[in-house]
Amino acid sequence: MSYRNAFQQARQQPEVFWAEQARNVAWYQPPTRILETLDDGTHRWFGDGRLNTCHLALDHQVEQGRGEQDALIFDSPVTGIRQRFTYNQLLARVAELAGALTRLGVGAGDGVVIYMPMVPEAAMAMLACARIGAVHSVVFGGFAANELAVRIDDAQPKVILTASCGIEIDRVIEYPPLVHGALQQCRHPVDQVLVLQRENAPADLARFGFLDWEETVTGSEPAPPVALNATDPLYIMYTSGTTGKPKGIVRDHGGHAVALLYALRNVYGMEAGEIWWGCSDVGWVVGHSFIVYAPLLGGCTTVMFEGKPVKTPDAGAYWRLVEEYGINGLFAAPTAFRAMRKEDPEGRLFQRYRIDTLKHLFVAGEKLDTPTYQWLSDLTGRPVYDHWWQTETGWPVTAPCAGLGEREVRNGSTNRAVPGYLVEVLGEDGQPLPPNQEGDIVLRLPLPPGCAQTLWNDHPRYLESYLRTYPGYYHTGDGGYLDEDGFVHIMGRTDDVINVAGHRLSTGIMEEHIATHSAVAESAVVGRHDELRGEVPLGLVVLKDGVAQSSQQVEQELIALIRHQVGAVACFRRALIVPRLPKTRSGKTLRAALRKMVNGKDFPLPPTIDDPAILNEISDVLIREGEVARPGQVL
Ligand code: COA
Ligand code: AMP
């Protein structure tokens, strides 16, 4: 089917279209109820279908004759370890781990938090949970104890799975003290913490009362996959919202399996037996969908990399993997290529490797700038496809559907809607805008299968955050426009979410932590353009009267505070002391104006501003501190 036909059919007859896609999944009980609309405007896909995601990813693949094919390749330049697991081997390891979890009392519907580095056991842990119907919640290893604690309290896990350490470019990070610290802050008690011992920094388990992974798991009775309802939760993935409290996105089993299989084949153009590499981390949605689940659901070999695009050991690392494993398709964040371009602008390291097997490269997670796009496509001679999606959707919303032979791309655009999605742009009055006019990017309901239909423990917040602003639409939180041919241009978030090196973070949470400092009266954290990471946070801080500490001292303390409370990954490296913050007459901080100022973009005077003189004061600080040569001015 051509892209155009698929798009039209999914638009006009979504039930027929998705019923057809669902036939590619090996259900225990195929669904007869394809799409239902609930009273609150949310939707349910495949309501009476029964399946098990782990069964589809492993047992079913073995049944199809792929038992001796590699399922997972692990490459870790930071430890020197390389491992391969066939589907048979991965199935045996996952079933054993699932058996161990069952023995620890974990059953269908129970929560399990996974706080692990990029090791195969992290993927095994996710699949083992799926096998027994437990709901996993993977927390990115770069988050500090406090962030982990917030997620534990919300997900209420029975067990936590972790490792003795993660390895960064220049240091080893011990996880057990962080888990211990988190548990001390939590209201929710967790008695059982399983630790994967790694040679780089084995943990003293007795000190924390934690269990040894290998001792607990080895020899456990393998657990069979349990039949689950299509609408049962597979996982919770916490993502940043506008407030300090992260949103627990809930993914179901049925819609997820159908949607990921569809995307793997039709967007990414990957066939069973091919080698796929999602260059991300299991702690992010890309890691869930396109390191662990989709490649295995589609019978591919997935590559897991414990390293960085540069410095492990150099900017040729990605190309080495492509050659060594014969990678056919990959996905990475633009930051990774910006980092490579900085260190290997002429492509000398690239020239050392052959990338003949690579069909195309997909990029997403943040804006792809034209120079990076040009460099990458000239260097590789391969199609570079920008595409756009979110944790909430779980799979691409706009993309060139390479698997449908649709290769037309438009520079600066994340391309057209994938079949199943209807992307529109609305003005403040909720009316659709004509082509090339910027507004709020929304998706017309119903969302296709696989997209989150609720938030863990907080359905009202889901309705409020996504469905209330524009009735009949899902509000993406991104601003941008559509051109006359339906190509989508994403201009950035319209809320207080920022993307730092492709990592989604909330400025609201940083403000909450800054507010705990005794010298601080108030603050605003906004995203500032960064050459390497796309965006980094910049704190603008008002001190209380009579504070004795110097500005530099407060700044250093705030940097340390965010690193400790949120994590190094926030890259919070500047907190400028300003006399006041611009406010509306009702006292709301004018963040949009601040965002424009720190990024050197001019803006109209906000009509509700209380005292416009504050803007000049802030402008002076930005210049004095060398943050921006010419701050954005009032037009
Ligand atoms: N555990 C602990 N700490 C982590 C971490 C993790 N999993 N990931 C990052 N950090 C730390 C880093 O060590 C660094 O600490 P530092 O301030 O002491 O140097 C800090 O968080 C910032 O991390 P990062 O922005 O990744 O900086 P870096 O210098 O380590 O690496 C890049 C720079 C460009 C190589 C890296 O950002 C990168 O690979 N980006 C691509 C990101 C990506 O793939 N995103 C996918 C999302 S879909
Ligand atoms: P996450 O939920 O972490 O995947 O982050 C989703 C957000 O990343 C989106 O809402 C966008 O703001 C941004 N994003 C993702 N892909 C792109 C892209 N290709 N171009 C621009 N922004 C993107």
C-alpha of residue 493 to centroid of ligand 2, in Å: 8
Distance in angstroms (rounded) separating the CA atoms of residues 20 and 18: 5
Reported as a pLDDT band with limits 50, 70 and 90, residue 332 is very high
Contact of 407 with 383, CB cutoff 8 Å:
yes
**196 vs 211: CA distance, rounded Å:** 9
In the reported structure, the alpha carbon of residue 182 is separated from the centroid of ligand 2 by a whole-number distance in angstroms of 29
The pLDDT assigned to 407 comes to 86
Q: How far apart are CA 385 and CA 362, in angstroms?
A: 5
Instruction: Report the helix count and the strand count for the chain, using DSSP H and E.
Output: 21, 29
Q: Report phi then psi at 526, rounded to 5.
A: -130, 160
Task: Output the ligand 1 site: residues, CB below 6 A.
Answer: 141-142, 166, 168-169, 173, 279-280, 284, 286, 308-310, 332-333, 335-336, 339, 365, 501-503, 532-533, 568-569, 571
Alpha carbon of residue 486 to chain centroid: 25
Encode pLDDT of 414-462 as tens digits. 999 999 999 999 999 999 999 999 999 999 999 999 999 999 999 999 9
Distance from the CA of 141 to the center of ligand 1, in angstroms? 10
What three-state secondary structure class fits 441?
A: strand
Give yes or no for residue 391 CB within 6 A of ligand 2.
yes
Over residues 41-97, the pLDDT tens digits come to 999 999 999 999 999 999 999 999 999 999 999 999 999 999 999 999 999 999 999
Angle in degrees, CA 113, 119, 125, rounded to 5: 35
The residue written with tokens 């920022």 in the block is 498
Q: Which atom of ligand 2 is nearest to the CA of 386?
A: 19
CA 278 to chain centre: 12
Alpha-carbon gap, residue 266 to 2, rounded angstroms: 10
d(CA 492, CA 304): 29
In this prediction, residue 240 carries a pLDDT of 87
Ligand 2 within 6 A of CB of 366: yes
Question: Residue 445 Cα, ligand 2 centroid: separation in angstroms?
Answer: 20
Check pocket membership of 489 for ligand 2, CB cut-off 6 A.
no
Residues in the chain: 635
pLDDT reported for residue 572: 98
SS3 at position 607? coil
- Answer whether 150's CB lies under 8 Å from 246's CB: yes
Alpha helices in 51-175 (DSSP H): 53-54, 60-61, 87-103, 120-132, 145-155
Q: How far is the CA of 202 from the centre of ligand 2 (A)?
A: 36
Ligand closest to 334 (CA) is 1
Reported confidence tier of residue 215, pLDDT bands at 50, 70, 90 = very high
Q: Is residue 537 within 6 Å of ligand 2 at its C-beta?
A: no
- How far, in Å, from the CA of 502 to the mean position of ligand 2? 8
What is the spatial distance between Cα 618 and Cα 28, in angstroms, rounded to a whole number? 62
Write the residue with the smallest CA distance to atom 37 of ligand 1: 501
| 392: Cα within 13 Å, side-chain hemisphere | 21
CB of 490 shorter than 6 A to ligand 2: yes
- Determine the residue of 138, 237, 366, 410 to mutate for testing ligand 2's pocket, defined as the one with the most ligand atoms within 8 A of the Cβ atom: 366
Phi-psi region of 518 (alpha: psi -120 to 50; beta: other; left: phi over 0): alpha
Q: Considering every ligand atom, which ligand is closest to the CA of 497?
A: 2
pLDDT of residue 279 exceeding 80: yes
- Measuring from atom 44 of ligand 1, which residue has the nearest CA? 280
The pLDDT of residue 556 is 98
**pLDDT tens digits for range 536-564:** 999 999 999 999 999 999 999 999 999 99
CA of 366 from ligand 2 middle (Å) equals: 5
Structure tokens at 293: 């689940």
Nearest-angstrom CA–CA distance, 6 and 625: 53
Contact 10, 17 (CB under 8 A): yes
CA 566 remoteness from chain centre: 16
pLDDT at 242: 73
**Structure confidence at residue 327 (pLDDT):** 98
In this predicted model, what pLDDT tens digit does every residue of 163-202 receive, in sequence order? Answer: 999 999 889 999 999 999 999 999 999 999 999 999 999 9
Look at strands 172-174 and 165-167 and give their pairing: antiparallel
Joined tokens for residue 101: 């979890």
- Cβ count within 10 A of residue 428: 8
Buried b (16+ CB within 10 A) or exposed e, 266-293: bbbbbebebbbbbbbbbbbbbbbbbbbb
Omega before residue 446 within 30° of 0, cis: yes
Identify which of 310, 335, 361, 499 to mutate to test ligand 1's pocket (most ligand atoms within 8 A of the CB). Answer: 335
What does the pLDDT read at residue 349? 98
Owner of token pair 């888990």:
179
| Ligand 1 atom, smallest distance to 338 CA | 34
Ligand 2 in reach of 285 Cβ (< 6 A): yes
Prediction pTM value = 0.96
Q: What is the model's pLDDT at position 461?
A: 96
Q: Residue 244: its pLDDT value, please? A: 73
User: Residue 129: phi, psi to the nearest 5?
Assistant: -65, -50
64 forms bridges with which residues in the sheet?
A: none
Average pLDDT over all residues of the chain: 96
Domains in the chain (CATH in brackets) are 87-226 (3.40.50.980), 497-624 (3.30.300.30)
C-beta of residue 179 within 8 angstroms of C-beta of residue 148: yes
**pLDDT at residue 243 greater than cutoff 80:** no
| Residue pointed to by tokens 């792809």 | 368
Residue 520 Cα distances to 51, 253, 533, 540, 627, angstroms: 53, 46, 28, 11, 21
Which residue's alpha carbon is at the smallest distance from atom 21 of ligand 2? 367
Return the bridge partners of 86, or none.
Answer: 70
User: What spacing in Å lies between the alpha carbon of 536 and ligand 1's midpoint?
Assistant: 12
Nearest ligand to the CA atom of 240: 2
Q: Give the span between the Cα atoms of 19 and 34, in whole angstroms.
A: 6
Ligand 2: which of 504, 533, 595 to mutate, most ligand atoms within 8 Å of CB?
A: 504
pLDDT, tens digit, for every residue of 483-529? 999 999 999 899 889 999 999 999 999 999 999 999 999 999 999 99
Tokens for 588? Answer: 């709301």
Protein residue whose Cα sits closest to atom 27 of ligand 1? 569
The model's pLDDT over 3-40, given as tens digits with 9 standing for 90+, comes to 999 999 999 999 999 999 999 999 999 999 999 999 99
